[in-house]
Amino acid sequence: MLFSLTCLVQHFMYTNPHWITAAFVVVYLYSIFSFSLLTAQRHPAPFMLIIDACLLLVAAVLLIKNGIFSLVVVLTFIYTGVIAVFSYMFEFSLKFKQQLAARREEKALWEGKI
């Protein structure tokens, strides 16, 4: 999340106004939102991180294609890709769904007792 925030600050400080760079703001905000969902342990977060990694790849390629190299954007892409792969390897989505079901079950159990 901090990588994405750094990209966003870098974007506002050093880029020229253009529709492509305006689209990057959406990508960075989506990245922050995806990591926020992962932090909150929501089940769509791993899938959203895959989409985020793809969007960050496109952003990095567009920047490099236009002659701009941003190490922060490349590191954000690599970090997001690694986290997305690990979240699927360790089945975070399934674990988050199980935790949600357990919380709902416990809430239903205590519903009339308190």
pLDDT in tens, 38-52: 989 888 989 999 999
CB-based contact 96:43 (threshold 8 Å): yes
Burial (0-12, 13-18, 19+ Cβ within 10 Å), 112: exposed
pTM assigned to the model? 0.82
Query: In the numeric block, which tokens belong to residue 7?
Result: 């990209």
Give the structural domain span for 27.
2-110
Residue with tokens 């159990």: 109
Percent of the chain whose pLDDT exceeds 90: 39
The number of domains in the chain is: 1
How many CB atoms sit inside 10 A of residue 103's CB? 10
CB-based contact 12:28 (threshold 8 Å): no
| Higher per-residue confidence, 12 vs 23 | 23
* Per-residue pLDDT reduced to its tens digit, 62-83: 988 988 888 888 999 999 999 9
CB-based contact 108:91 (threshold 8 Å): no
Residue with tokens 């977060």: 45
Percent of the chain whose pLDDT exceeds 70: 98
